[in-house]
Amino acid sequence: MTNTLKKSIEVRHAVIYCRVSSKKQREEGSGLKSQEHRCREYAENLGYQIDAVFPDDVTGGGDFIKRAGMVALLAYLDTQHDKNYIVIFDDLKRFARDTEFHIKLRREFKMRRATIECLNFRFDDTPEGKFIETVFAAHGELEREQNGRQTVQKMKARVEQGFHVFKAPVGYEFKKSPRGGKEFVPREPLASIVKEALEGYACGRYQTQVEVKRYLESQPAYPKDLPNGEVRQQRIFLMLQKPIYAGYVEAPKWKISRRKGQHEGLISYKTFEKIQNRLNANALAPARKDINMDFPLRGFVTCGDCHRTLRSCWSKGKYKKYPYYLCHNTKCESYGKSIGRAKVEGAFEDILKRLSPSESLFQMVTVMIENAWQQRLSQTEGMKKLMQKEVFEIDKKIDGLLDRIVDSNNQMTISAYEKKINQLENQKLLKVENLQNKGKLRASYDQIIELSLKFLSNPYKIWETGNIHLQKMVLRLAFTGHMPYHREMGHRTPHLSLPFKVLASISGGEKEMVPQERIELSTSPLPRVRSTTEPLRQLVANEVL
């Protein structure tokens, strides 16, 4: 009698398992709390004592091992050898939506002497009960796979229409649209930071991915990967490859080719192609972070004897450290012989100062640029027609390749045709974007030309700011190659870029009284004498727009 009474008043211990399919459902909905509330009411009615609750916010694809909450629940049961727990579920679908994993999970609970109870399904170990349970599990698996298929189909359709359907990359976000739903828009200030990084790498202002990484790490608003404030290198590489930043979408795993997106791009497609070309080119050694800031000419100045780039270092003196450039070629006469930084950089600054043209020459160049600007604007319509013809020719080539694919049965041949079609599609996208932008001025003449004229008028002014990125830009824009420096004779003749070379020739021409350009009729048999101003006029006509 006493034993029967003890059994009747013995407390039965239970745990609750709740699950939603995503973190979004957990944060924006109340699914987990609702499930727990219903399970607690069920347990209270039956007199169960709830010892723990195990929530999950991942689907796991049917595999319970991929659910952190389920793994924690099984581990908890392993530690409670003296208790036979009851595991309560709100719905059979929360148990496992896969027939195979449903059976495996049932076995796992049985091995731990745990009983399973569900609010809307009665588990029965009879043959008929097991059959019905298996049918319900199979139905859950069917429903899960159908939902997944419908989701993928909807996402594919959205991508084909030019919409981004995946997680928003850094610089973008999804916002509620006044027209309903959500729209994909740039997110400031991250959008401007990412744009600066991408355009800087495309134009060579950042020579390596490491320099892009350092720039992003210097921006407080940009999200960091590591506690020490660093951004992973892999993240930089992936960012440089995303066409989403150029305003395009694609889904290679669904065989959806690249196409114009319904969102605003941070950079042009032309800039994106420049980035891809740089990524596919030979890799450059990353600039050293610790020493490059102190020696802006490192990697640019070469030894006057062996023509290898000079290295730089700090030499420790009695009271302080001293900066030097030196040659490390053991076969060179100047090997190990230090040259003071002030001497090298001082002589270089004198060269930069001499690059500034006279006021009269600069005024003449300004007029020439204005004339070239107007001339190029008048040529826009003709260029548009030419580009439209090129796009039409590319479409014809693509159609021809598609016809060949239909007629071919060889898989290797088909793959080759598909690769060629992708290349043509990229060419077409670039030309279509150029066609759309042709004739559209992003800013006024003064805004576009102002910085270029400032640089041409006095490159030393930019150099003396001391900003290492601007100084590197001066080196790339004003010179076309390394500058030799001899430890006794100083700098050798520099290799100037075309604008400064032409300006130098004009300046020299004035001193030597070069005859003015002769204008001959096109039918004249006499050769045309070219003025030294003509190269600059051609340069402006080709590059100003």
Tell me the three-class secondary structure of 98-167, residue by residue: CHHHHHHHHHHHHHCCCEEEECCECCCCCHHHHHHHHHHHHHHHHHHHHHHHHHHHHHHHHHHCCCCCCC
Structurally, at CATH architecture level, domain 172-280 sits in Alpha-Beta Complex (3.90)
User: How confident is the model at residue 530, as a pLDDT?
Assistant: 43
Round to the nearest angstrom and report the end-to-end CA distance of the chain.
102
The SS3 of residue 35 is: helix
Strands 483-486 and 301-303: parallel
User: Which residues face 18 on adjacent strands?
Assistant: 55
Domain limits, the chain: 2-151, 172-280, 361-457+497-545
Instruction: Please list, residue by residue across 274-293, b when 16 or more beta carbons sit within 10 angstroms of its beta carbon and e when fewer do.
Output: bbeebeeeeeeeebeeeebe
d(CA 195, CA 366): 30
User: How confident is the model at residue 446, as a pLDDT?
Assistant: 61
Residue among 188, 475, 232 nearest 351 (CA): 475
Output the CA–CA distances (angstroms, integers) from residue 366 to 452, 486, 517, in the order listed.
10, 37, 19
d(CA 158, CA 94): 30
- CATH 3.40.50.1390 fits domain 2-151: yes
d(CA 97, CA 64): 10
Question: What would you report as the CA-atom Rg of the chain, rounded to the nearest whole angstrom?
Answer: 36
CA angle 37, 38, 42 (to 5 degrees): 120
User: How confident is the model at residue 544, as a pLDDT?
Assistant: 41
User: How confident is the model at residue 437, as a pLDDT?
Assistant: 65
User: Using a CB cutoff of 8 Å and minimum separation of 24, what contacts does 409-416 make?
Assistant: none
Q: Is 128 exposed, middle or buried (0-12, 13-18, 19+ CB in 10 A)?
A: exposed
| CB within 8 Å of 252: residues ≥ 6 apart | none
Location of structure tokens 């997944």: 148
pTM score, whole prediction: 0.53
User: How confident is the model at residue 375, as a pLDDT?
Assistant: 67
Q: Are 256 and 160 in contact (CB under 8 A)?
A: yes
Here the tokens at position 75 are 């581990």
Query: What is the full DSSP assignment across 314-359?
Result: EEE-SSSEEEEEEB--TTSTTBT--EEHHHHHHHHHHHHHHTSPPH
User: How confident is the model at residue 524, as a pLDDT?
Assistant: 41
Location of structure tokens 């006794």: 488
Here the tokens at position 538 are 């051609």
The SS3 of residue 275 is: helix
Q: Phi-psi bin for 307: left (phi > 0), alpha (psi -120 to 50), beta?
A: left
How many residues in the chain? Answer: 545
Here the tokens at position 249 are 């979408």
Task: Tell me how crowded residue 481 is: count the other CB atoms within 10 A of its CB.
Answer: 11
User: How confident is the model at residue 509, as a pLDDT?
Assistant: 46
Q: Are 83 and 13 in contact (CB under 8 A)?
A: yes
Cα 175 from chain centroid (whole Å): 21
Is the CA virtual torsion 417, 420, 424, 430 positive or negative? positive
Which parts of the chain have pLDDT scores under 50? 1-2, 4-8, 29, 285, 290-291, 509-545
